[in-house]
Amino acid sequence: MVTEQIFHQLSQPLEPIPTGVSPQLSPVVDIRAVLFDIYGTLIISGCGDIGTSIEVQQANALEAALASLGIALRSPADAAIQTLQETIANHHTQLRKTGITHPEINIIEVWQETCLKLGGLKVDPVRLAVEFEARANPVWPMPGLEPCLAELARRGLILGLISNAQFFTPSLFPALTGKTVDELGFAADLRYYSYEHRYAKPSNRMYRLASKRLASQGIHPTEVLYIGNDMRNDVLPATQVGFRTALFAGDTRSLRLRQNDPSLGNTKPDAIILDLLQILDLMA
């Protein structure tokens, strides 16, 4: 509840910035499940994605977050952010040693270690993670989020989430819309957050888990539509497991076309949408 309150209090309205990309609304038929990315797709991210705010913005956010907790830094904020980034890099390195090619951190563990390195700051790492994130990465619901999900659910489609995320990410929905992920219609067994699995996109691990779960319900991969804003992190791994895909190109902050990325090969989305409500048109 405290996490929701912090995001609710610190969030301000944001509008998508048009990308100039043309929609491609070819019908996508025989879909039984629709899975979504979160940052940059369902939720406007001021930085475009989780964990991508610039260093100056992060330094300001850290000072403000600690001030809200009654704590002053003993070193310059930019140096503290450098320590945070080095800690994240170290955690990535350790996870890669276990064979994870696209590792994901647990931000609570990172903040615990970072606070020790910053002179043993006496602060709750959970609260600090939330206070920092709410300031470093402003968020707001993407236009059309609630009516889109409500109509998909009304049509009997199964809804799910596959997202690079941290423990606080699910709290964004009640903080910003007043509705939990349950109330928005997302199936409890189809929510895949990277921090829980330690694999981050573009790894297709979470997609494979989702595909296996849906197969147990008799749903073939070609009957699944995945929607995300990043060609490499969203469209590519979804395509690799056989899902149909729609690229969300509705906000310049988050659209990642990755046109020079060799890993994409000939990967193309089945559709390109600029507005969440266009999903309904795809399956009309």
Q: Dump pLDDT digits (tens) for 77-119.
A: 999 999 999 999 999 999 999 999 999 999 999 999 999 999 8
Residue 44 reports pLDDT greater than 90: yes
**Which domain, by its residues, includes 18?**
2-50+138-282
Point out the domain boundary residue: 116, 136, 156.
Answer: 136
Q: What is the pLDDT of residue 56?
A: 81
* pLDDT tens figures, 249-266: 999 999 999 999 999 999
Q: Which pLDDT score is estimated for 258?
A: 97
One domain, residues 121 and 160: no
**SS3 state at 241:** coil
Residue 136 is predicted with a pLDDT of 95
Kindly tell me if the per-residue pLDDT of 53 is higher than 80.
no
The 10s digit of each residue's pLDDT in 131-171 is 999 999 999 999 999 999 999 999 999 999 999 999 999 99
> In this structure, are 112 and 44 located in the same domain?
no
Angle at 186 between CA 250 and CA 134, to 5 degrees: 60
pLDDT for 55 beyond 90 = no
Q: Which of 117, 136, 155 is the last residue of a domain?
A: 136
Residues 158 and 261 in one domain: yes
Give the CA distances from residue 216 to residues 121, 194, 212, 213, in Å, rounded to whole numbers and listed in that order: 47, 22, 6, 5
Token pair 């890993």: residue: 263
Q: For residue 16, what is the DSSP state?
A: P
> Whole-structure pTM over 0.75, yes or no?
yes
Please give the DSSP secondary-structure letter assigned to residue 232: I
- Residues 139 and 242: their CA atoms lie apart, in Å, by 31
Tens-place pLDDT, residues 196-208: 999 999 999 999 9
Dist CA 93 CA 4 (whole Å) = 32
Structural domains in the chain (count): 2
